[in-house]
Amino acid sequence: MNAIKKNADDAVLDPYDVGAGWFEISLPSLQLEITSKVPRALRAKAEYTLKRLRLRDGERVIRWRASWYDMYLSKELPLAGLRRVAPLLAAAVAKANAAQSKAAKKQGAPKPAKKKTPRKRGGPDAPAS
Which range of residues forms the domain containing residue 33? 2-97
Give the per-residue pLDDT at 31: 97
- For residue 118, is it within any domain? no
Q: Is residue 109 one of the residues assigned to a domain?
A: no
Domain-embedded: residue 119:
no
By C-alpha distance, which of 41, 53, 69 is closest to 15? 53
Q: How many domains does the chain have?
A: 1
pTM: 0.73
In a domain, 103, yes or no: no
| pLDDT per position as a tens digit, 38-96 | 999 999 999 999 999 999 999 999 999 999 999 999 999 999 999 999 999 999 999 99
